[in-house]
Chains A and B, each alone.
Chain A
Amino acid sequence: MSFIQSRYNLTEADLERYLGEALSKGGDYADLYFEYLTTTSASLDESIVKSASQGVSVGCGVRVISGEKTGYAYTNDLAPEKLTHAARTAAQIAASSSKVRVAGLEEQKGTQDLYPVVHTPGDVEFSQKVSLLRQADEAARAYDARIFRVEVGYRDSVRHILIVNSEGVVRSDTQPLTRLDVSVLAREGDKMERGHDGTGGRVGLDYFQTERTPEDLAKEAARQAILQLGAEEAPAGEMPVVLGPGWPGILLHEAVGHGLEADFNRKQLSAFSGMIGRRVASELCTVIDDGHIPSRRGSMNVDDEGATTGRAVLIEKGILKAYLQDRLSSRILGTPPTGNGRRESYRHIPMPRMTNTFMLAGEDAPEDIVRSVDRGIYCANFGGGQVDITSGKFVFSASESYLIEGGKLTRPVRGATLIGNGPDVLTKVSRVGHDLKLDRGIGTCGKEGQSVPVGVGIPTIKIDQLTVGGTNVMRAGSTFQE
């Protein structure tokens, strides 16, 4: 029996009764999503632990689907009368005489165990979490005397979910999520710059001893801030752009990933609508969304609709192959679900979302890719990005970038923003490195007000032409024209 069933004494007969209420007005399908989420967090600033927090959030969302209509109601009180009320409220969406019967519930054993955490982060003594903060603080301050401010944040959660639907599916999962972030400020004269690094995933605390330590993060954040102190204004205008491996995979997420979510496509709202089978990228590009990579931030044993997660090939050698599906879209489009139905919490209706999105490695050596650029920009790290799904226009901001001059990285530049057009940008990819890297596990994706953890990854790639939004027009006009 799942954690939630035993904690709240929910028998299968109870669950079937709520589903029955949900379908009492004639919906086609109903599901219940129970969530019990515990979180802890702690933060350090000015070398002292300023805050620590623990919390519990419990609730259930009831969904009823009738044709293309969705009714949704939630409650954070799991008392029988409240659950019944939520089910009846959601039921109002349907108004048909046809009755769907609730299939007998049968608990499905999970086939995946992607985050075998021996001790979930919630079980660990708070003092161990706090000591991660202190380790990072000391290492950042020791890195360079110009580092004058260090903030460190630790956060973990354990999410117990139980999903039950009118087709008889019962799935449960326990999903840990942990992250550690270091932000620093460096000062030299009247110049001041910020540096940041973070890491995490569906991991326990041991990750910060064996994989990436607080010291690693501190040094990386400090290195970036010191580097930025010496950075020049970024150039402005169109030029070749080389993306380094790992986190710059956010390009895939913004430029193509969102545009391939099935809800936008079945409604013909995406710049990629109706383009399955068409060329949307150079033949060097194969893009994957994979929700079942062990321990990754974007991974889940089951998605938030109870479907087993898997690997979807979105673009194969430049040809658009598939959209990311949730249950409603796959039902309407008549295509199989891809395990991409996700939601932020019991308060939210599921939508098609990305999990871990990355490009497969190519054959080029990264140094050869840089060498092939006479004048351009190299982006090693990004802050964040955004896309307009309909027009396809995307933008993202580099937090660490360099000028490429004569095939070599020369000087660091600050404030570079890249802007382009989703359906077009991957057609301009002319080199793909053999160095695929996944990011460090701190990505959060927002869509229609819902945030979910995601991963990205990319090898070194060269985009022949992209607009760089810097502030230095003179250089762009004189030097940066190919």
Chain B
Amino acid sequence: MDYLDLAADLVARARKQGADEVECVVHEGSSFSVGVRLGEIEQIKDSGSKAIGLRVLQGRRAASTFSSDFSAEGINVLLQSALETVRFTSDDPFNGLPEADELGVGIDPALLELYHDDVLALTAEQKIEMALSAEAAALDADARITNSEGADCSSGWSRSVLANSNGFAGEYSSTYCSLSVSPLAESNGSKERDFWYSVSLSAAGLDSPEEVGRRAAERALRRLNPTKIETTQVPVVFEPGVARSLLGHIFQAVSGDAVYRDASFLAGKLGEEVANKNIHVIDDGLRPRGFGSSPFDDEGVATRRTTIIDNGVLKSYLLNSYTARKLGLKTTGNASRGLAGSPGVGPGNFMLRAGEHTAEEIIASVDRGLYVTELIGQGVNLVTGDYSRGAAGLWIENGQLTYPVSEITIGGNLKQIFKDIEMIGSDLDFRSALVVPTLKVRLMTLAGK
């Protein structure tokens, strides 16, 4: 049976057996990955999986079940245990499927260009060759590249099917492929590892193996023989790969789940200035070839483009139908669900608008400061905005990158950090659903010696 029919059929059966509202998802996908290390194949992995998730409402009570067992008996168990489990939850007046007039697609799925035949045409041999070339490019880049954690090339496709009892039925498929290398540099007793990767929805969109390998080597080399610096307060420049985590904190803070719980430093701040005037953030679920693009969200609501921050002023939260009802607002088409549980909130393509400066210009504007290339640890409190994370990067002196720095932390408060973003790069990094360029923060606390 086709999975769209299977989902629609399960919705009908659940309704017949007493559920008032029903939503069913089917996820299917497969992927193939190769790992090479020091010129040899190390790992080949082939995977295929499928699973089904069912959410039922009785009155305003909700429960969900999921299974990877598609046999008739497996499907029966899925349905019966959903109807049984829903007896144990509470009536919640805000529960329910989206209104019928909110359901639909925001765009013809074909126009999103999420599915690319060239990914499926990649052979195992080609992927092995790409991984080997990328690793070789890193190993050959410099004599100080002495070892490697390996290179990986993977590709896959996935399909999402959704049907509900308000009449929605839809599906879309997408592909992806990626190439990554992790070389190790060694010099004077110092060992440092770094990595670089390219990822795209199409094979043609991948950077060349040589480019990926060369950049990975460059990144590992520039970390060699790091210093620990004195505790101080200086400007901090985030390269796009780490600036992404700052944008991620904005996403978490405007997500309806955190907002209605008051568990966000941006809760209740609609219409207020929450960032510097140069900051514009949008969530765009309709961008062709975007990692966060989809024709409809995980409740079947049409995806769209939502302005989050305009000239530093908070314009909108990101909502699914539940959090919208809680806050007395309308869903923004950002429902996101796995197989189990109630829908949460997920980004479309969550993008900070590019500025006009190159990364070099931004670095050149700093007298003494830090260029951050890596952040580790979880020292972020979204309730208060307190921020303190382990960092590594390069010291900036007189506008120039100088020696590497590690074993320090950078700290501050997110409320202030976003107001202190002084310069924005033109170099948007599109390798994820969070899209962001180089950012410069006026002042942060560095803890070191």
What residues of chain A have their CB less than 8 Å away from a CB belonging to chain B? 39, 41-43, 45, 48-59, 68-77, 86, 89-90, 92-93, 126-127, 130, 148-149, 151, 185, 187, 191-194, 234, 236-238, 267-269, 271, 347, 349, 383-391, 393-397, 414-417, 419-421, 467-473, 476-477
Please name all residues of chain A whose beta carbon is closer than 8 Å to the beta carbon of B70 when the two chains form the complex.
77
Q: Is the CB of B42 within 8 A of A53?
A: no
A50 touches B231 (CB 8 A): no
Apart from the given pairs A151-B261, A185-B383, 4 other A-B contacts in the complex at a CB distance below 8 Å: A49-B88, A50-B92, A56-B69, A390-B193
- Say if the beta carbon of B81 comes within 8 Å of chain A: yes
Interface residues of B in 34-77 (CB under 8 A from A): 37, 40-51, 62-70, 74, 77
Interface contact B68-A393, CB-CB below 8 Å: no
User: Min CB distance, B125 to chain A, in Å?
Assistant: 11
Nearest A residue to B409, CB-CB: A469
What residues of B have a CB within 8 angstroms of the CB of A389 in the complex? 193
Contacts of B40 in A (CB 8 A): 68-69
B residues near A191, Cβ cutoff 8 Å: 384
- Given contacts A126-B88, A467-B449, whether A417 and B149 have CB atoms under 8 Å apart is no
Verify B45–A395 contact, CB threshold 8 A: no
- If the complex has contacts A92-B44, A395-B409, A467-B447, are A52 and B85 also in contact, measured as CB distance less than 8 A? yes
Interface contact B407-A414, CB-CB below 8 Å = no
**Contact between chains at A93 and B66 (CB < 8 Å):** no
B232 an interface residue at 8 Å Cβ cutoff? yes
Judging by beta carbons under 8 Å apart, are B383 and A194 in contact?
yes
Partner of B377 from A69, A89, A396 at Cβ < 8 Å: A396
Interface residues of B in 412-444 (CB under 8 A from A): 412-413
Inter-chain contact B447/A236, CB cutoff 8 Å: yes
A476 with B261: CB separation less than 8 A: no
10 tightest A-B CB contacts, nearest first: A469-B409, A395-B390, A395-B377, A48-B90, A236-B447, A390-B193, A469-B447, A55-B66, A397-B379, A417-B388
The smallest C-beta distance from A138 to any residue of chain B, in angstroms, reads 14
CA distance A396 to B409 in the complex (A): 11
Give 30 pairs: A residue, B residue, CB < 8 Å, sorted on A: A41-B341, A42-B89, A45-B261, A48-B91, A50-B89, A53-B63, A56-B68, A56-B77, A58-B69, A73-B45, A90-B46, A92-B124, A126-B85, A192-B383, A194-B383, A237-B231, A271-B191, A384-B377, A384-B378, A387-B376, A390-B193, A394-B376, A395-B389, A396-B377, A415-B387, A417-B379, A467-B409, A469-B379, A473-B447, A476-B231
Is the beta-carbon distance between B340 and A41 smaller than 8 angstroms? yes
CB within 8 Å of A: which B177-220 residues: 184, 191-193
Whole-angstrom distance between the alpha carbons of A193 and B262 in the complex? 11
Distance, CA A50 to CA B57, complexed state (A): 11
| Dominant secondary structure of chain B at its interface with chain A | strand
Min CB distance, A254 to chain B, in Å?
9
Q: Of A69, A75, A86, A151, which contacts B41 at CB under 8 A?
A: A69
| Also in contact, A70 and B42, with CB within 8 A (given A48-B90, A149-B262, A391-B191) | yes
Query: What residues of chain B lie closer than 8 Å to A267, measured between beta carbons?
Result: 37, 147, 149
The closest CB in chain B to the CB of A37 belongs to B68
Taking a contact as CB atoms under 8 Å apart, the answer to whether A390 and B191 are in contact is: yes
Is the pair A383, B379 in contact by a Cβ cutoff of 8 Å?
Answer: yes
Could you tell me the distance between the alpha carbons of A419 and B379 in the complex, rounded to whole angstroms?
A: 11
Scoring A39, A50, A420 by chain B CB atoms within 10 A of each residue's CB, the highest score goes to: A50
| A384, closest chain B residue (CB) | B378
Contacts of A347 in B (CB 8 A): 47, 49
Bound-state CA distance A471–B385 (Å) is 12
A55 touches B339 (CB 8 A): yes
Which residues of the partner chain A approach B48 to less than 8 Å between Cβ atoms?
Answer: 74-75
Q: How far is the CB of A242 from chain B (nearest CB, A)?
A: 18
User: Is B406 positioned at the interface, with any CB of A under 8 Å from its CB?
Assistant: yes
How far is B390's CA from A393's CA once the two chains are assembled, in angstroms?
Answer: 9
- Give the complex CA separation of A391 and B391 in angstroms: 13
Is A468's CB under 8 angstroms from B447's CB?
yes
Task: For chain B, residues 217 to 240, give those with C-beta under 8 angstroms from any C-beta of chain A.
Answer: 223, 226, 228, 231-233
The answer for the CA separation of A471 and B89 in the assembled complex, in Å, is 43
Residues of A within 8 A of B448 (CB): 237-238, 467
Determine the distance from Cα of A126 to Cα of B233 in the docked complex, in whole angstroms.
Answer: 53
> Which B281-298 residues sit within 8 Å CB-CB of chain A?
none
Q: Of the candidates A127, A386, A388, A391, which one forms a contact with B378 in the assembled complex, judged by CB atoms under 8 Å apart?
A: A386
Q: Which B380-403 residues have a C-beta within 8 angstroms of A?
A: 381, 383-384, 386-390, 392
- Contact between B408 and A70, CB atoms less than 8 A apart: no
Residues of B participating in the A interface, judged by any CB pair closer than 8 Å: 37, 40-51, 62-70, 74, 77-78, 81-82, 84-86, 88-92, 124, 147, 149, 184, 191-193, 223, 226, 228, 231-233, 261-263, 339-342, 374, 376-379, 381, 383-384, 386-390, 392, 406-413, 445, 447-449
**Which residue of A has the minimal Cβ distance to B95?**
A50
Whether the Cβ atoms of B376 and A236 lie closer than 8 Å is: no
* Residue in A52, A90, A476 whose beta carbon sits within 8 Å of that of B447 in the complex: A476
Q: Determine if B68 and A58 form an interchain contact, defined as CB atoms under 8 angstroms apart.
A: yes
List of A residues within 8 angstroms of B149 by Cβ: 267, 269, 390
CA A234 – CA B90 in complex, angstroms?
A: 41
Q: Please, which residues of chain B bring their CB within 8 A of the CB of A58?
A: 68-69
Q: What's the nearest-Cβ distance from chain B to residue A451, in Å?
A: 14
Contact B377 A397 (CB under 8 A): yes
Chain A, residue nearest B91 (CB): A48
In the complex, the answer to whether B42 meets A469 with C-beta atoms within 8 Å is no
* Set B226, B263, B411: member contacting A417, Cβ < 8 A: B411
Q: What is the distance, in angstroms, from A471's C-beta to the closest C-beta of chain B? A: 4
Instruction: Name the B residues within 8 Å of A57 (CB-CB).
Output: 51, 66-68
Q: Does B42 lie within 8 Å of A68, measured CB to CB?
A: yes
Residues of A within 8 A of B231 (CB): 236-237, 473, 476-477
The CA-CA distance from A416 to B115 in the complex, in Å, is 45
Beta-carbon contact of A59 and B68 below 8 Å:
yes
A73-B47, A476-B231 are known contacts. Are A470 and B377 too (CB-CB below 8 A)? no
Contact A71 B44, beta carbon cutoff 8 Å? yes
Assembled-state Cα–Cα distance A138/B6 (Å): 42
Taking CB as reference atom, which chain A residue is nearest B386? A415
Residue ID in chain B nearest A228 by CB atoms:
B384
Which residues of chain A come closer than 8 Å to B263, judged between CB atoms?
A: 149, 185, 194
Q: Is the CB of A76 within 8 A of B45?
A: no
Partner of B192, one of A126, A390, A415, A470: A390
How far apart are the CA atoms of A187 and B342 in the complex, in Å?
27
Cα of A387 to Cα of B37 in the assembled complex, Å: 22
Is there an interface contact between A415 and B411, defined as CB atoms closer than 8 Å?
yes
Residue picked from A58, A148, A390, most chain B C-beta under 10 Å: A390
B412: chain A residues at CB < 8 Å are: 471
A53 x B64 contact (CB < 8 A): yes
Smallest Cβ-Cβ distance to B93: which chain A residue: A48
- Quote the shortest CB–CB distance from B41 to chain A (angstroms): 6
Known: A45-B261, A50-B89, A192-B262. A76 touches B383 (CB 8 A): no
Instruction: Determine if B447 and A393 form an interchain contact, defined as CB atoms under 8 angstroms apart.
Output: no
Q: Chain B's nearest CB lies how many Å from the CB of A236?
A: 4
A299–B35 Cα distance when bound, in Å, is 30
Most chain A beta-carbon neighbours within 10 Å: one of B339, B390, B449: B390
Smallest distance from the beta carbon of A355 to chain B beta carbons, Å?
23
The closest CB in chain B to the CB of A238 belongs to B449
The CA of A39 and the CA of B384, in the complex, are separated in Å by: 34
The one of B37, B42, B65 in contact with A54, judged by C-beta atoms closer than 8 angstroms, is B65
Q: Are A72 and B44 in contact (CB under 8 A)?
A: yes
Q: Which residues of B contact A86 (CB under 8 A)?
A: 46
Contact B340 A419 (CB under 8 A): no
* Complex interface: chain B residues within 8 A of A52 (CB): 63-64, 85-86, 88-89
Q: Within the complex, which residue of B62, B65, B89 is in contact with A55, where a contact is CB–CB below 8 Å? A: B65
On chain B, the residues within 8 Å of A77 by CB distance are 70
Contacts A385-B377, A397-B378, A467-B448; is A417 near B409 (CB within 8 Å)? yes
